[in-house]
Structure 1
């Protein structure tokens, strides 16, 4: 509170930006409502992918406008401009960043963090980060992004699962000089109490429309790779990122079936209203790794292999064009993972410099 007193405040927030009122994390107020109740001078809300209230589909344009509840102006950071303009920051003295992340490179909130740090550095505005635990913070895994495959789905040379909180990641962005023109953002991280990286954190509020529970968050690093293919990863069902399927998978191998339909968080899911053959993973016990077994199985048992990959999009999700080539060449999961190890070891050493939590 002393850092905010007498300041004109901007907030980067979404539906997870809440203050819990009880131990069970069932009662809470939104950060925006709390700041207004405390008579802080909150000027505007900056909204990431999925919108401020979290009701927008993945990849769907987020509108700027007004919050119907508070009347505050909302500035979209997921539309024409993914970076806050100088104009939008001119009446701001301090910016707060408070979003629940899930620790996966293609989950776009770390790209939003990057751009907000750049904007704040350019406008000489301090950034206050209210840190939150990372539910996938207990491991580091996956292919490392190659700079030529940089996009909003991955802007940094980091593994698919990076094992950092938002606060730690912000320290890395500054420390490695990854912001444009090697800019340095004036950041203050308010750490989470009692969190360690070897604790599995249960997320009390779904962090985006298609991550409804802990199982989806656990499987997301592995099944999220299907976003760069023509395989449906449960969008259009109540079990997003807990199943996968497509109409062109061999029905003698894939005995589980479902039909994606228009639903919350998925207006146009892949293979909408078409019967998909696949696998149900809602009870799978995957823990602390990126698994390629489902991707390899899909490729090996597709009735038409040319339908599996959406190459450019898959490369953006994987961060490398090697993974698709390795799967198409018939490499085993163990052989592919062996090619990640050198980069993973180098990143773990780098990561150690920026850890706030054990």
Structure 2
């Protein structure tokens, strides 16, 4: 059975929510190592794929961390520290640096860098076949017409349709910067669904990625 997990960082407390169950893990390490340390037992000897850009853990592919830390500072080095391997990078609109055209990726890395902006669900399902653990980590803009949120829901559908056994889809939740506005604005209609939005939510949805993922999971009766 495919497993979807929501990972929420609050101070030094990380909440891991395997749908439909919930539990809390207390962690006392620095970001970004909290996630890797907390889930290292799931990552051992696994092939890891990440959906990210420079605002998420993808920044660890572009520049090394300045601070001296106990752990390696490059993303693939961090995973290797836990005997895991990074096999694919999936980027949203404007690539890994968030400064490129549509699905372009100018950065040459030792792993495939795949733009998801123009990929459909069947395409993503095929790309996910070589992934054993998939980590989604992208920033939120707080508004409905945002392609990153669509990448999340399309990836969730692709993951489910693949009927992958013993694989997990991790969502690293982030704050919604417009949550103080509460939910307001017109709700999109299905006939207007596009890469800019495929959920019936208000213009200011109020919810975080993790909350919308839970809503999407239950509404579409994912397994």
TM-score of the superposed pair, with normalisation by structure 1 = 0.43
Contact 1:98 1:131 in 2 (8 A): yes
Q: Indicate whether 1:153 and 2:196 are aligned.
A: yes
1:46 is displaced (CA, Å) by: 0.7
Q: Which residue of 1 aligns with 2:103?
A: 62
Q: Which residue of 2 aligns with 1:101?
A: 140
Q: Which residue of 2 aligns with 1:142?
A: 185
Contact 2:48 2:134 in 1 (8 A): yes
SS of residue in 2 equivalent to 1:2: helix
RMSD: 2.6
1:2 is displaced (CA, Å) by: 1.6
Q: Indicate whether 1:85 and 2:127 are aligned.
A: no
SS of residue in 1 equivalent to 2:211: helix
C-alpha distance 98-107 of structure 1, shift in aligned 2 (>3 A)? same
Contact 1:17 1:98 in 2 (8 A): yes
Contact 2:89 2:113 in 1 (8 A): yes
Q: Which residue of 2 aligns with 1:43?
A: 87
SS of residue in 2 equivalent to 1:129: strand
Consecutive aligned runs of 4 or more in structure 1 exceeding 6 Å deviation: none
SS of residue in 1 equivalent to 2:203: strand
Residue-by-residue CA offset, 1:82-106 (whole Å, 9 max, x unaligned): 4443331221111110111122110
Correspondence for 2:212 among 145, 169, 193? 169
Matched residues in 2 for 1:107 and 1:95: separation? 21
Q: Which residue of 1 aligns with 2:154?
A: 115
Rg larger in structure: 1
Correspondence for 1:127 among 160, 169, 181? 169
Contact 1:137 1:163 in 2 (8 A): yes
Matched residues in 1 for 2:219 and 2:203: separation? 18
Highest relative contact order (Cα 8 Å, sep 6+), 1 or 2? 2
Gaps of at least 5 residues in structure 1 are 21-25, 186-358
1:11 is displaced (CA, Å) by: 0.6
Gaps of at least 5 residues in structure 2 are 1-39, 60-64, 68-72
Q: How many residues align?
A: 169
Q: Which residue of 2 aligns with 1:12?
A: 51
Matched residues in 1 for 2:74 and 2:170: separation? 17
C-alpha distance 173-135 of structure 1, shift in aligned 2 (>3 A)? same
TM-score of the superposed pair, with normalisation by structure 2 = 0.67
SS of residue in 2 equivalent to 1:62: coil
Between structures 1 and 2, the one with greater strand share: 2
Matched residues in 1 for 2:44 and 2:172: separation? 16
1:35 is displaced (CA, Å) by: 2.9
